[in-house]
Amino acid sequence: MKTTLKTDITIKDICEGFVYNELEGKGLFGLAGKLTIQPEYQRNYIYADGKKDVAVIESILKGYPLGLIYFNTVSPGKYEVLDGQQRITSFGRYVTGKFAIMDERGMPQYFGGLAADMQQKILNTKLLIYACEGEESEIKEWFKTINIAGVPLNDQELLNAVYSGPFVTLLKEEFSNSQNANVLKWSAYISGTANRQDFLERALDWVSQGYIGEYMSRHRFDTSILPVKTYFNTVIDWVSGVFIDVEKEMRGLEWGRIYETYRRNPYDPKKVSEEVHRLYADPYVKNRRGIFEYILGGMADAKLLDVRVFDEATKRTAYAKQKKEAEAKGVSNCSYCAIGSESNKTKIWAFGDMDADHVTAWSKGGATDSSNCEMLCKSHNRAKGNS
């Protein structure tokens, strides 16, 4: 790959013809139309937080270097940003009046309101730019390499870069657009943000059954994303249909896997809601995130709920009581051993060889307190738990 250092391009040059799409949150073009600021392999603009974008402008005004910027030479005189689009979009947005910085008095200052010398300082700042030329595979490998610093690309952002094309373009328009009216609904079930590709990643993860890279490679040049949208919306609609209550613990669960596991089962949303409320009110349920799959699975796997276990004091009290009673009767302090016919019928087990068990199972309403605690030898406790 060939690289050429350019030191004569200024911020003013870059901002000539600067276009920013407020709806999609991305810088589109600059350098009088000769520069594509956000090619499809680039992540979305993530500096619009009133901190990172402001820091870029303050750095320029203080004379701090902005660091190297890399362009990919698409054709003679035509470029796309390989690295530096966050910085370029930040100063482009500032120069075109999209946000303000605060002056020393705490007053907002848009570019148009700055003193002329400060405006010129920004516009005349020269940038250090490497223009790169090479094959697509070389460019994308270099793109991954130079993005290990700063705010690193996440896995999906890297995959978007590797498999850029019409398929990724359409996916990003749907799932990476923070202005999409469906984002609020998606956010109830999916962690993350549109800008960092979290919704797009989940959509691909679900439809591909976890093989995102293979799926993107196979569909890279598709001009429709209908199968992805249909499957994604089917999962979301199924979840929201079964669970009429939206709880914060639902966010980020493996809904794609859960959908595939339980989608063929019939559910009564009202009864499901009653169980959700009952389990949320149960003080012994430690893992509320497990409630939803527990209900879908017929409330058979209590391990999903991480039900509160007996504390050490309760276990030792129960052990001492059972041991005293067993010794008086000449039987084992494990009730199951005591009624058995093997050699352990009269065995007094040490505390460390026993486990606490619910006399009345938690799933049948038994409490996790001293009145419902029984110590069993480990073998019988395991056997009871697996029965």
SS (H, E, C) 158-195: HHHHHCCCHHHHHHHHHHCCCCCCCHHHHHCCCCCCCC
327 phi, psi to nearest 5 deg: -65, -35
145 pLDDT tier (thresholds 50, 70, 90): low
125 pLDDT tier (thresholds 50, 70, 90): very high
pLDDT at 150 over 60: no
Contact 358, 302 (CB under 8 A): no
Contact 172, 39 (CB under 8 A): no
Q: Virtual CA dihedral for 230, 235, 237, 242, nearest 10 degrees?
A: 160
159 pLDDT tier (thresholds 50, 70, 90): confident
Write out the two tokens for 303.
Answer: 């391990």
Q: Is 305 left (phi over 0), alpha (psi -120 to 50) or beta?
A: alpha
Q: What is the pLDDT of residue 111?
A: 95
Q: What is the pLDDT of residue 147?
A: 60
Number of alpha carbons in the 13 Å side-chain half-sphere of residue 329: 17
Q: Can you say how many angstroms the Cα of residue 46 is from the centroid of all Cα atoms in its chain?
A: 16
The pairs formed by 73-80 with CB atoms below 8 angstroms and a separation of 24 or more are 73/131, 73/132, 73/133, 74/36, 77/34, 78/34, 79/31, 79/34, 79/35, 79/36, 79/131, 80/35, 80/36, 80/37, 80/39
104 pLDDT tier (thresholds 50, 70, 90): confident
Q: What is the pLDDT of residue 362?
A: 79
Q: How far is CA 386 from CA 293, 309, 375, 380, 381, in A?
A: 20, 17, 17, 10, 9
Higher pLDDT, 158 or 127: 127
Instruction: Please give the CATH topology (third level) of the domain spanning 312-386.
Output: DNA Binding (I), subunit A (1.10.30)
Contact 171, 200 (CB under 8 A): yes
pTM for this structure?
Answer: 0.58
DSSP state of 24: T
Q: What is the pLDDT of residue 25?
A: 59
Contact 92, 27 (CB under 8 A): yes
> Is 127 strand, coil or helix?
coil
387 pLDDT tier (thresholds 50, 70, 90): very low
SS (HEC) of 329-368: HCCCCCHHHHCCCCHHHHCCCCHHHEEEEECCCHHHCCCC
Q: What is the pLDDT of residue 386?
A: 47
209 contacts: CB under 8 Å, gap ≥ 6? 256, 260
Contact 304, 285 (CB under 8 A): no
Strand partners, 6: 129
Cβ neighbourhood burial of 150 (10 Å; 0-12, 13-18, 19+): exposed
Residue extents of the structural domains in the chain: 2-153, 184-267, 312-386
Model confidence pLDDT, tens digit, residues 161-195: 778 889 999 999 999 988 899 999 999 999 999 98
> Is 151 strand, coil or helix?
coil
Q: Report percent pLDDT > 70 for the chain.
A: 94
Q: What is the pLDDT of residue 23?
A: 64
Q: What is the pLDDT of residue 384?
A: 74
